Amino acid sequence: MKAIPRLGFGTYGRTGPTGIVALEKALEVGYRHFDTAQSYGTESEVGAALRRSGLAREEVWITTKIDMSNYGPGRLVPSLERSIDNLGLTPDLTLLHWPSKNAEWPLDVYLSQIIEAKEHGLTGAIGVSNFPIALLKAAMAQVGAGEILTNQIELNPLHNNRTVAQFCRSVGVLVTCYLPIAKGRLRGGPTIEAIAAKHGASVEQVALAWELAKGYAAIPTSSRADRIASNFAARDLALAQEDIAALDALPQTARTIDPDWGPNWD
């Protein structure tokens, strides 16, 4: 299996013609990893942008995520087949977007279905998103070591999700950071602003470079061409160890995505 590019492009909000333009710009500047989801309504845009780019299918990594409404018995596989129709391709990776809402379905009900989807060739790999440690352990016990490629979680310098991230690293599950640049809330922080000034970089580039230095994947997004290019340039930013330590020590804020039906967070 090909390797997942560690800096990807999130597609939440990138809908319609303007969304396709942003996705095309992302491919133009060098992104080779798109993250979409059934609930985003951007699978068709991802497929269209890739076809317009002229790039070969194997050059771009595509992740999608199964919506919780499709976790019931017999629902997940048909929903992924619809995603494949929307994308016009088979995803490299398919995630369970959340644990079942209010534990409506036991884990084995929907986890067994995503394994079935992989066995039928409907996805290259599987993973999870927003899984706390207890559920991740249960999933790994059910599907076997090495089957879960990633756990996609909210993570940035202001919310480092350290407990879950450290556990994922200890068991060989890649951490993929969503909201990796904290929706603009990084600006004005004296520590990160000082690090950015030292490197002649933006605070967003510093955050992404910090995540990449830790071995995480990150999926920033933007509709603006300049921000799309600037974020991608974070790959070229090498932070010093003292920079990383200073970012590690930042005061932490509450998570941004915290629905009342969500899991028991670590």
Residues carrying an active site annotation: 40
Q: Dihedrals φ, ψ of 198, to 5°?
A: -60, -35
Cα 168 to Cα 175: distance, rounded to the nearest angstrom: 7
Cβ-Cβ contacts under 8 Å for 40 (sequence gap 6 or more): 11, 12, 13, 15
Q: Dihedrals φ, ψ of 222, to 5°?
A: -165, 155
With CA atoms as reference, report the closest residue to 94 among 170, 43, 49: 43
Cα 228 to Cα 9: distance, rounded to the nearest angstrom: 9
CB-CB contact of 174 with 217 (8 Å) = yes
